[in-house]
Amino acid sequence: MSTTEHETARTRPGYPRARRDDTVDHLHGVAVPDPYRWLEDSEEPDTAAWVEEQRALGREFLDGLEWKRVFTEQLRRVWSLRACHTALMQGGRYFYFHNDGHQEQDALYVMEAPDGEPRLLLDPTLYANDDGHATISYATASPDGRLLAYSLSYGGSDWQEWRVRDVDTGTDLPDRLYRSKFSAAGWNAQSTGFYYTCYDHDGSDADHASWEPDRDPKVAFHQVGTSQDQDEIVYHDSDHPEQGITVLTSEDGTFLILFVWRGEEATTAILVKDLRVPDSPVVGLLPDFDAAYSYVAGDGPVMWFQTDADAPMGRIVATDARRPGEIREIVPESEHAVQGAGLVGGKLYVVYLVDAASRIHVFTPDGDPLGEVELPGHGTVEGLRSQPGETEVFYSFTGFTRPTTVYKLDTTDDSSTVFFEPTYTFDPEDFTVRQVTYTSADGTEVPMWVCHRRDLDPDRQHPAFLAAYGGFGFAITPSFAPGPIAWMEMGGVYALANVRGGGEYGEEWHRAGSGRDKARAVDDLVGAAEWLIGQGLTSPEQLGIGGMSNGGMLVAALLTRRPDLCACVIPVNGVLDLLRFDRFTIGWSWRFEYGSPADPEDFAALHALSPLHRVEPGTKYPATMLCTATRDDRVVPAHSFKFAAALQHAQAGPAPVLLRVDRESGHGRDARAEEGLDDLSDRWAFAAHVLGMELPRP
């Protein structure tokens, strides 16, 4: 494609008209116009009509790209590989999710032995309701392996419907539980019932219309075979309606463990209930919200936790329910961040992040070091959960060019054997993966993964795509995804920057890019783009940047701060209005990450960063495709609607600003393989088109 043809192809279309009204908020003495406030009401006829016009415009543009066909075919080929997720043994049975490469979604299988014949237990594609197709949100077998508690979410929503399946017959019992969200299930020791989290409302369309905040959760116990209105409420804190509760039970079913979290700090409180004692109260085990805690394992009243209490890089501690508030250090803090841990076969397996990649170290239950589990390279480990008395456990390993492989670990000698190996539709040796560091604006060294085809010409610039997340203390580590592989096969460079705000280097790394310092994460992303350009790998005209959710906020903030730095930006389900994020669904729980708009100092930082409020009319912005979903009840679509309207109104250059709206998915969840492929092919085709990637020759 010639330069003239390329520029003509990028010319922006005509946009649907979005009215601008005179809505103004006065916050801490500052007048803040919000002319597109009406787009927050998804049931408003003008909103629905405007969204439909945007959808039609986006489809016309994207379906006219030759790259759309190319990436659809390329992604379909990569997507077709067999996949498996970490297996778990429960009640002598082995449960795991598997996809043969042609199934719409991963299905749940069960085996009676590790080398037994797999039996299909649960296929989510068989379920749908008026809200759309179903996905499995959570599934856990009872201690005796006889029953499966599982929840379905419809149309991409986070709301869950709980059911119970008989594992022997593969049929559902009559049980149906509603009004649940962000909930796991914890079985009692007798395998007769389970605990879960519920609300008084159920996320119906009426709730979605106003995107009311999710408040006042309760913990209930459901006795299998009874109706939900008979469930016992075992915990409810009406004094703190803005809190979340994660539920689980210890491996032997003797203790109910509640993780309570609130929106102001990245901390949790641990509450427990002794299930061996009838009518025992819920008491505080670690009740002070002084640090973050996650469960490792339990043996009766003794429980192991991963925590950042007095240890920003993380450590492993033990507690005793008979002595609330006391902790005993098992594995002290080291120079590497703790990613997770499991207690199996009388050994404690701790997963560390070493330069944003997983390593497994082995200890005794009292913390004495025993060595390390050998891994096949740089990648991400998940799993390592089983009954403490078992001698085998499963874990998965994945990397940028390595689809997930599942290993069975023999805890007697810490040797690993392959339980499941994926099929490959490409050769991993055709690619190179390296980790580099670059210097951010304040002198901080930031790591970044750079991946491309091994035969890439080092003496010329290439289309490059830079991704980042940088939020909530989540570590974004090497993992396989079809999109980056397809992009690299077409000759592109793929980079992932581990910017501050994530958890790659512990809680201090997170705090350095959160709250009033959130702009540092954007500084780091700018630094990553400048490094790629400075190294000659790409140019501003050939650089695309994308991110999802919090990452969508970062890339949109970069767009408004440095529109000259790249040619393409793709924010997906982004948090783009940082002055009203806490008014919708679960947004109140993000205040620890972004700050509170009600606080004057937090407001000043948020107002200076908020992508929606940094859009300046008359600016030449890069080509942008905002992606959202009408059923996203986590980061509500109003964020993307308002930002798209503002950016289209402000755009002074020729580059298009598109709004891609999916009507039947949620926050990154899609029950339909074809529609998920369509979503990904749209994003990569848009980037390839804008960045001038060379089409493959027939």
Q: Is residue 107 part of a domain?
A: no
pLDDT (tens digit per residue) in 449-458: 999 999 999 8
CB neighbour list of residue 8: distance below 8 Å, 6 or more residues apart = none
Active site includes 514?
A: no
Q: Is residue 654 part of a domain?
A: yes
Task: For CA atoms 204, 214, 661, 492, give the dihedral sign.
Answer: negative
Buried b / exposed e along 455-465 (16+ C-beta atoms within 10 A)? eeeeeebbbbb
Half-sphere exposure (CA, 13 Å, Cβ side) for 426?
26
Give the per-residue SS3 of 84-133.
ECCCEEECCEEEEEEECCCCCCCEEEEECCCCCCCEEEECHHHCEECCEE
C-beta neighbour count of 287 within 10 angstroms: 14
Whole-number pLDDT of residue 263: 78
Under DSSP, is residue 683 helix (H, G, I), strand (E, B) or coil?
A: helix
Q: Which of 133, 222, 361, 667 is catalytic?
A: 667
Whole-number pLDDT of residue 1: 36
Residue 625: give its domain's CATH number: 3.40.50.1820
Q: Which of 386, 549, 589, 665 is catalytic?
A: 549
Q: Is residue 336 part of a domain?
A: no
Distance of alpha carbon 333 from alpha carbon 543, whole angstroms: 39
Task: For CA atoms 168, 174, 177, 178, give the dihedral sign.
Answer: positive
Q: Is residue 548 part of a domain?
A: yes
C-beta neighbour count of 27 within 10 angstroms: 16
Under DSSP, is residue 29 helix (H, G, I), strand (E, B) or coil?
A: coil
Beta pairing partners, 163: 150, 176
DSSP class of residue 500 equals B
Whole-number pLDDT of residue 11: 54
Q: Is residue 244 part of a domain?
A: no
Active site includes 549?
A: yes
Beta pairing partners, 156: none
β-pair type (464-468, 493-497): parallel
β-pair type (657-662, 623-629): parallel
Say what angle helices 600-609 and 519-534 make with each other, to 10 degrees.
30
Beta pairing partners, 316: 306, 331
Is residue 166 within 8 Å of 173, Cβ to Cβ?
A: yes
Whole-number pLDDT of residue 674: 74
β-pair type (30-33, 83-84): unpaired
Under DSSP, is residue 578 helix (H, G, I), strand (E, B) or coil?
A: coil
Whole-number pLDDT of residue 551: 98
Q: Which two three-digit tokens encode residue 435?
A: 């980790």
Q: Is residue 532 part of a domain?
A: yes
Is residue 326 within 8 Å of 337, Cβ to Cβ?
A: no
- Amino acid at position 221, single letter: F
Whole-number pLDDT of residue 12: 61
DSSP code string of 208-239 = HHHT------EEEEEETTS-GGG-EEEEE-TT
Is residue 677 within 8 Å of 34, Cβ to Cβ?
A: no
Distance of alpha carbon 635 from alpha carbon 48, whole angstroms: 18
C-beta neighbour count of 366 within 10 angstroms: 10
- Amino acid at position 371, single letter: G
pLDDT (tens digit per residue) in 49-106: 999 999 999 999 999 999 999 999 999 888 777 777 777 888 889 998 888 877 778 8
Q: Is residue 339 part of a domain?
A: no
Q: Is residue 498 part of a domain?
A: yes
Please list the ranges in the chain whose pLDDT falls under 70. Answer: 1-13, 201-210, 668-673, 698
First-to-final CA distance of the chain:
15
Distance of alpha carbon 657 from alpha carbon 124, whole angstroms: 36
Domain count, the chain: 1
Is residue 111 within 8 Å of 127, Cβ to Cβ?
A: no
Whole-number pLDDT of residue 9: 39
Question: What range does the domain containing 544 cover?
Answer: 54-78+426-691
C-beta neighbour count of 24 within 10 angstroms: 12
Can you give the pTM of this predicted structure? 0.93
Is residue 628 within 8 Å of 551, Cβ to Cβ?
A: no
